[in-house]
Structures are given as structure tokens and as C-alpha cells.
Amino acid sequence: MSKVIIIGAGMGGLATALRLAYQGFEITVVEKQSRPGGRSNVLMENGFRMDMGPTILVMKDVFEDTYRAIGKDLNERIDFVQLDPNYRVYFHDDTYIDLYSNMAKLAREVEKVERGSAERLFDFIGTSAKKYELGMKFVDRNYDRITDLANPQALAELVSTKSHQNLYRQVSGFFRGNDKLAKAFSFHSMFLGLSPFDALAMYSLITYADLALGMWFPKGGIYRLIEDMVTLAGEMGVTIRTNAPVKEIRIHKGKVLGVELENGEQIDAEIVISNADLPYTYQKLINGNAVRDYSEQKLDRMSYACSGYILYLGVDRTYSHVQHQSLYFSEDYKANLDAIFKSKTLPKDPSFHLSIPTVTDPDLAPEGHSGIYVLAPMPNLSAGINWEEAAPIVREQLLDQLERIIDPSLRSHIVWQREYRPTDWENDVNAVLGTAFGSLSHGFLQSSYFRPNNKSQHTQGLYFVGQSTYPGIGMPMVHISAKLVTERILDEWH
């Protein structure tokens, strides 16, 4: 059976390793970092166990599908808790609402903001469900030709669901311009590194997935998923080598020969799958003579997603008045998003995502302590911000807001802390421009058929998996990506 090398032990790389090993391929995963996981990594220090990247798990059925494909049951191996509510949304004026999957409870919350808005909420959820149904047809498939995307039926459905319109404007229309509700039901595109002011209305399918399909938390945190995949990979004979950065993908006469590591070691394989960022793979791992799918100029012209600043805190107290997941929206949300995506400057009043996983799982911290994760989206490194100077400023802004919304004496209770800056993604996972959630943004011209293909057109045996090929950014999407690249390889190599 063919030998396969997977560059990168991110979630997509690991899911592909499991699927292909189950089909009998001989798999070696080579990972640059000392621990698998990539953007889904973990900090384990001073008794705190803190997810470093993703904290929100939606579309759990997609994770279950990876396990089903290898004859396992995800729910037998990992203990999931459904979050209820999914999020608390804090506004600048010290008010908040809770977003529930239960529609009756959700309706009660929106009525608190504006009387009569429940009916419009149901309209919004109904149309978002149609977008979800339509969107999944484009998400869960391989692409070979433009007609896979642009056919009369698909276009008619796109227009009938108004998916081609602007996301923020459309959501705002449903809620008759109520600013708080428009924010609360449109921010989800940020998870794809895309401003709701620029995104297609199609992306309210993410809002639907979050609210209607439920949000889950694996006991032990998101990194439990990585640990379990690594365990399964070991049982299935997959070799995972950490501290093994790849220097070059070896290609001869249009065919993959294997990889060369930074230490000069060569490993042979008929198939190489890069889970590293695709633009980085073309720029750094493929010798100039072999690069034909994407020229340097073409890579430069691509649109790159945003980055972020994260503060991880351990505090010596617990909270009964907070939720596991929250969002804080700055007053001038548009100015905040324009700073990130347009002017590429440091936001003056950053919005942020707050996660306190110890609310659900106290074992993630020493007894009587809480773990706090605060993620503020930021411009990527093309902004040229000096992060040595900027990080302390953002840190203080975030602590000020946390003291306002959750604990006035928070600073005096911090017993452990770490931070993560845009430059860290560049250094740790070779993220082009330090992009956080994924490298390529999700505008129309970088989605589905237009997103880079998971198969090289010019090099036989070279494939891609993960956030920079289709379907795109986010844990569920990279699991689907693993399924799609496996289908391709089984078609072509079995």
C-alpha cells in the first residue's frame, strides 16, 4: 500500500491520518512543534489546562463522522456537555443577553432588547436554516470544474435564499436596525476571519449551526479531541514525529518523491499531504522550479484572514454569575471591525471573545480557581503593528473591560498568565501573516470552487488538507476537508 507523509499534526492532518490509515495506507505525520494540535493546542502549567485556540465546538455530527469512518464512536470515547446558554453577549452599556439553542428561551432574550422582535428572530432562523441547507451542498464536496459550483440550480437557490446579499445589512434588516440584535446575530462570520460588514449573507448559516444545532464542550477541553486522535493514530500504526520540521517537499519530473526535514533527513513517499498553510507550503516548501499551481504574485494577491491577541489567565477564585462562553461588543463595532480589516490599525476599543471553561469543567484548574481565555481579533501582520509595544496596551484594555463586566478586582486575583500575539502564529505554525483562525479569508472568490484545490494540478501525489483548502476555516471544516482529500486519494490510488 502507498506510503503517505502528512506535513503537520493539526486537526485536519490528524483526521486525514486516521481515515487513510483505516484504509490501509502507511502514514507518517511530521510535525514541526513539540506537541501535535497546530492551531488547536493547549497550555498545561501550574495546574491550569487551557485550550490555546478553538474553544467553540459546533456541528458535532461532523466530528462523529470522522470517528464513524474508522469504526469508532466519538461519544463513547469523549464526554461532551451541551452548553446552555451557548453564549452570553455583553454590550457596551452594561447590558447583556444570553443566546440559547432553545428557541423559546432565545425568544425571551431578544424580547428583552426589543419588544416584538421574537417573530423576526424566527423569520431569521428560518431563512438561515435554508442557507445552511444550501451551503452544506457547497461545503461537503470536492471540486473539479467551475460547473460544480456555477450551475443554474445552484444560482437560483443562491438568489432565492438571498445568500448573495451583505450579511450585516441583511441581519440588521431582520431586526429593523436594532444595533444590539444585529451584532448578536451577525458576528459569527468573525470565526472565519471575515467581517460581517463584508461577508455574504450566506454565512448566517454559521449562526444557524451555532444556535440551532447546539454548542458542545468536551470534558478536558478541546485538546481532548487532539489527544484522542493521537491515541487512535498510535493504535492504528500511524507514526507521528514531533520536532520534525519539513524543509522541502521533494519533487522530480512532476512527481512527489517525499520530504526532506530541516535536519537533512529524507523520507520517501508516493503521496505528500500538506496540512501546513497552503500559501506557506507553496512559498517555502516547494522548490521554485516545481511551483506552478500558485505563483508568488498569485499568492500575494490572495486575501488573508485576520489575526488575534489572546490573554490566558488563571485566577484564585470561582464565579457563579458568568457563562462558559461570552462575547463583548464594543460600542462602535463597525470602527472596531474596520480597524481590523480595512485600515489595519490597532482597534481603540476591541471587541472580544471570553471563555471560562472552568464554569463547565472545574478540573481544568486547581480547586477554587478559574481559567479565563480572552481573544480579541486583530489585524494580521500585513498591518506592520509593533507587537512588543501593542501587546501591553491591548492587555490593559482587555483587563479593564473584564473588571467592568465580570470581576472588579480581577487583576489582584491573577495567579498565572500567558499571552499569544499575531507573531506567535507565524513562528509556531508557520501561519502566513500570523493569521489566527486560518490563512485565507472566506470572500466569495476564496470559497468552495475558488478556494485552493486540495490536489495539486501540476505535481502528481501532492495534496492539501486543512483550513486553507476547501471547505475552509474552523474545526468542523477541517474534518470535512480530511474526508474530501481522503475520498480523492482513494479514487486515485486504491
Ligand X SMILES: Cc1cc2nc3c(=O)[nH]c(=O)nc-3n(C[C@H](O)[C@H](O)[C@H](O)COP(=O)(O)OP(=O)(O)OC[C@H]3O[C@@H](n4cnc5c(N)ncnc54)[C@H](O)[C@@H]3O)c2cc1C
Shortest CA distance to 183 belongs to which of 1, 334, 286?
Answer: 334
Name the one range near ligand X by CB under 6 A: 8-16, 18-26, 288-296, 406-414: 8-16
Do 114 and 178 meet the contact criterion of CB atoms below 8 Å apart? Answer: yes
Do 40 and 467 meet the contact criterion of CB atoms below 8 Å apart? Answer: no
Burial class (CB in 10 A: 0-12, 13-18, 19+), 186: buried
What binding mask, one character per residue, do residues 356-375 give for ligand X by CB under 6 A, x or -?
Answer: -------------------x
CB closer to ligand X out of 200 and 473: 473
Do 376 and 347 meet the contact criterion of CB atoms below 8 Å apart? Answer: yes
The least CB distance from residue 225 to ligand X, in Å, is 10
CB closer to ligand X out of 170 and 228: 228
Of 4, 6, 12, 346, which lies in the binding site for ligand X, with binding defined by CB under 6 A? 12
The least CB distance from residue 465 to ligand X, in Å, is 7
Secondary structure E strands in 271-393: 271-274, 307-315, 325-328, 352-355, 370-378
Site for ligand X in 23-82 (CB under 6 A): 30-33, 38-40, 53-56
The least CB distance from residue 43 to ligand X, in Å, is 12
Cα 266 to chain centroid distance, Å, stands at 32
The count of chain residues that interact with ligand X, using the rule CB under 6 A, is 37
Shortest CA distance to 391 belongs to which of 290, 309, 281?
Answer: 309
Q: Which residue has the cell 436596525?
A: 177
CB closer to ligand X out of 263 and 386: 263
CB closer to ligand X out of 35 and 334: 35
Do 272 and 297 meet the contact criterion of CB atoms below 8 Å apart? Answer: no
What binding mask, one character per residue, do residues 254-283 give for ligand X by CB under 6 A, x or -?
Answer: ---------------------xx-------
Do 404 and 275 meet the contact criterion of CB atoms below 8 Å apart? Answer: no
How is 21-89 classified by DSSP, letter by letter?
Answer: HHTT-EEEEE-SSSSTBTTS-EEEETTEEEESS---B--HHHHHHHHHHTT--HHHHS-EEE-SSSEEE
In angstroms, rounded to a whole number, what is the distance separating the alpha carbons of residues 433 and 265?
Answer: 28
Residue 430 makes contact with ligand X by CB under 6 A: yes
CB closer to ligand X out of 246 and 354: 246
Of 67, 208, 329, 437, which lies in the binding site for ligand X, with binding defined by CB under 6 A? 437
Of 478, 480, 484, 485, which lies in the binding site for ligand X, with binding defined by CB under 6 A? 478
Name the one range near ligand X by CB under 6 A: 1-9, 102-110, 231-239, 403-411: 1-9
Of 4, 5, 6, 8, which lies in the binding site for ligand X, with binding defined by CB under 6 A? 8
Q: Is the peptide bond preceding residue 471 cis, with omega within 30 degrees of 0?
A: yes
Site for ligand X in 279-318 (CB under 6 A): 308, 310
The least CB distance from residue 478 to ligand X, in Å, is 4
Of 10, 135, 379, 471, which lies in the binding site for ligand X, with binding defined by CB under 6 A? 10
∠ CA 411-415-419, rounded to 5°: 80
Which residues are at the interface with ligand X (CB under 6 A)?
7-13, 30-33, 38-40, 53-56, 245-246, 275-276, 308, 310, 375, 429-430, 436-438, 466-467, 473-476, 478
